Amino acid sequence: MNKLKAEEGFRNLLERHGNISWADEGDDKITAPYEKIVDIFGNSLTSRERKELIKTMTRNSGYSGDFNRAGVKPPVTYSGIASENGQRFYLAASIYPDNPDFSVFPAGCHEGIHFLSKYGPKNKRIIKKDVPLANIIGVFFRLRHAPNDLEKIAGTDDVEKIKFLQQNPFLLGLEEQEHRDEEHFEAIITSANAYIISAEQGERAGIDYILNLMKEANLI
């Protein structure tokens, strides 16, 4: 199966739901978060494989100001399957708002997780489970880029209160968090604690905190 042709066909299908400007290989806004995600999760890949994977993610990513598929608007990642002569190939594409004020990096980290869990042969994917990992990674990098959003996201900027909730992720002591259901609440508290750790010990320490929790819970 011609992989590039299959990808193009899938992108064309998505264009039925809005005008999409697909990214060029040199689009730093898109490649930067993808490079970060592949660097974190692509330890099993060679340098060449990493570069090819980032190129694949980039050419299947784009911007749209009017995309709307059954009420779903960007940022969003879709998956599909192309079949030919009994062969099946798993596809993915990510779409971001065409808005200069939109912060692509944290969204790209979030959508990049979804992409990597959907694209290509299942046995070769470097991410097997994207939930709740995508939300945790996305919020973590949002906080890294905009620390003042901590109170808006977690409902408090009280570091000690957030650290306390690290041990009690379902103790609903916060009233204004953006996501109120328990799964999102747990993800937000994990992200907030990871951010606090990274502010004290560096970005990698925060990422390692997330990965260790996900491994313990058999979520990656």
* 64-114 tens-digit pLDDT: 999 999 999 999 999 999 998 888 999 999 999 999 999 999 999 999 999
Segments in the chain below pLDDT 70: 164-183
In the 8-state DSSP scheme, what is residue 80? E
Task: Give yes or no: residues 92 and 148 share one domain.
Answer: no
Answer with the one of 120, 155, 176 that is the final residue of a domain. 120
What pLDDT is stored for residue 188 in this prediction? Answer: 86
How many domains are there within the chain? 2
Q: In this structure, is residue 128 part of a structural domain?
A: no
Separation of first and last alpha carbons in the chain: 29
Please name the residue that has the structure tokens 């996501």. 179
Task: Give yes or no: residues 109 and 194 share one domain.
Answer: no
Task: Give yes or no: residues 180 and 90 share one domain.
Answer: no
Could you give the CA distance from residue 74 to residue 178 in angstroms, rounded to a whole number? 18
Q: In this structure, is residue 126 part of a structural domain?
A: no
Strands, DSSP E only, in 68-152? 76-84, 87-97
In the 8-state DSSP scheme, what is residue 72? B
Answer with the one of 65, 90, 120 that is the final residue of a domain. 120
What pLDDT is stored for residue 87 in this prediction? Answer: 87
What pLDDT is stored for residue 165 in this prediction? Answer: 65
Task: Give yes or no: residues 173 and 111 share one domain.
Answer: no
What pLDDT is stored for residue 166 in this prediction? Answer: 65
* pTM metric for this prediction: 0.90
Answer with the one of 91, 120, 149 that is the final residue of a domain. 120
Task: Give yes or no: residues 171 and 86 share one domain.
Answer: no
Nearest CA among 83, 59, 64 for reference residue 74? 64
The β-bridge relationship of strands 61-64 and 21-22 is antiparallel
Task: Give yes or no: residues 153 and 104 share one domain.
Answer: no
Q: In this structure, is residue 185 part of a structural domain?
A: yes
Q: Which domain holds residue 195?
A: 133-216
What pLDDT is stored for residue 182 in this prediction? Answer: 47
Task: Give yes or no: residues 116 and 137 share one domain.
Answer: no
